[in-house]
């Protein structure tokens, strides 16, 4: 894919191609997903849960697993600790078909997220080893991967990588590698640093709230809604693909706006649904699907992901995704 035109898909589509390897860089950890009476009451009050699952977590890990499930060759570059949590994270990634040659095991604890899952979610995260991921790790993995696309996840959890990310992205695109970013939520709510990355991105994957906050951090005023925010962000360079919850999603590419409705599914757990959304979009995008089809794949993958507990149990295979959209493989 040439990066000279920003790699932007259009409604007319782009040349179809065989999907090349995708390299995903970011966090890698387990999620402990708790359901039931999950709103803590201090004072040593004991509460009963209806479910507790220890599953593959992390935005980068879930997204990589989703790509593999959809038949895309994918590798992950990340850091885990030298503990059982790190061993288990690696084992689950391998089970899901992800190449983990780029995952380093370092001294210390592996990151961990505790998900309190109800109608909404609260997330408690120990960054652990993930926070030490560096641009040099990604450059090394990228050089030996043959990857045609580089996706970055969890910008605000990876301070060392975030510091050098604009240069890393610029060099990747100069080498003919297309790029994408899902910043996820900023725990500090300052939203700084992403602006410098925008000119070097082909794709940006915020949710609706993140689109507003990221656009507001550009200094042009806080946008009134997610669409306005996406337009502001798209003007800085990337195609902006927004996860819009129960309303599905929409994409802004230049002046073009494309929408797709969510599938009617029974929602069990929305953990990781946004990462599966990203995987669905990229699975279509790396093989040259039109923007509307990429978005339909994204919304279908995100919707189906929410039908099971955790981020990966409900992720669809390509045949499942196409069937859900009423299309033939």
DSSP strand pairing (112-117 vs 74-81):
unpaired
Report the alpha-carbon distance of residue 79 to residue 215 in Å, rounded. 30
Q: 149 forms bridges with which residues in the sheet?
A: 22, 178
User: What does the pLDDT look like over 115-149, one tens digit per residue?
Assistant: 898 877 788 999 999 999 999 999 999 997 889 99
Closest CA to 7 of 157, 158, 203: 203
Tell me: the pLDDT tens digits for 41-83? Answer: 898 889 999 999 999 999 999 999 999 999 999 999 999 999 9
Whether 37 sits among the annotated catalytic residues: the reply is no
Report the alpha-carbon distance of residue 153 to residue 24 in Å, rounded: 8
- Dig out the tokens for 285 from the structure: 């995008």
User: Which pTM value belongs to this model?
Assistant: 0.91
Domain-by-domain residue ranges, the chain?
Answer: 22-28+59-110+131-324
Single out the catalytic residue among 27, 186, 275, 278: 275
Query: What is the reported pLDDT for 119?
Result: 74
**Torsion sign (Cα): 229, 232, 237, 239:** positive
Give 145-169 pLDDT, tens digit per residue: 889 999 999 999 999 999 999 999 9
Domain 22-28+59-110+131-324: CATH class, spelled out:
alpha beta
What is the DSSP annotation of 174-208?
HTT-EEEEE----TTS---SSGGGGGG-SEE--BH
């Amino acid at each position: 894919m040439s990066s000279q035109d920003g790699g932007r898909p259009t409604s007319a589509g782009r040349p179809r191609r065989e999907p090349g390897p995708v390299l995903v860089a970011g966090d890698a950890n387990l999620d402990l997903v708790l359901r039931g009476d999950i709103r803590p009451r201090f004072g040593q009050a004991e509460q009963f849960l209806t479910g507790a699952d220890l599953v593959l977590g992390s935005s980068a890990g879930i997204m990589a697993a989703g790509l593999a499930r959809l038949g895309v060759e994918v590798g992950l570059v990340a850091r885990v600790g030298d503990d059982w949590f790190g061993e288990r994270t690696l084992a689950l990634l391998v089970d899901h078909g992800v190449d983990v040659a780029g995952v380093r095991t370092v001294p210390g604890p592996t990151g961990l997220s505790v998900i309190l899952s109800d109608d909404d979610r609260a997330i408690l995260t120990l960054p652990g080893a993930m926070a030490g991921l560096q641009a040099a790790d990604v450059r090394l993995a990228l050089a030996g991967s043959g990857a045609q696309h580089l996706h970055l996840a969890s910008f605000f959890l990876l301070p060392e990588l975030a510091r050098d990310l604009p240069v890393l992205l610029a060099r990747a695109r100069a080498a003919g590698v297309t790029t994408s970013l899902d910043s996820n939520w900023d725990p500090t709510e300052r939203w700084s640093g992403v602006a410098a990355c925008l000119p070097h991105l082909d794709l940006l994957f915020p949710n609706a709230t993140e689109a507003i906050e990221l656009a507001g951090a550009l200094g042009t005023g806080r946008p009134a809604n997610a669409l306005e925010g996406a337009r502001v962000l798209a003007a800085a360079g990337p195609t902006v693909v927004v996860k819009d919850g129960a309303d599905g999603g929409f994409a802004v590419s230049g002046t073009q706006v494309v929408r797709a409705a969510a599938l009617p599914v029974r929602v069990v757990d929305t953990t990781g649904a946004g990462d599966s959304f990203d995987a669905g979009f990229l699975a279509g995008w790396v093989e040259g699907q039109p923007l509307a089809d990429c978005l339909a794949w994204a919304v279908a993958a995100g919707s189906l992901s929410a039908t099971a507990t955790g981020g990966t149990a409900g992720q669809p295979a390509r045949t499942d995704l196409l069937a859900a959209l009423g299309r033939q493989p």
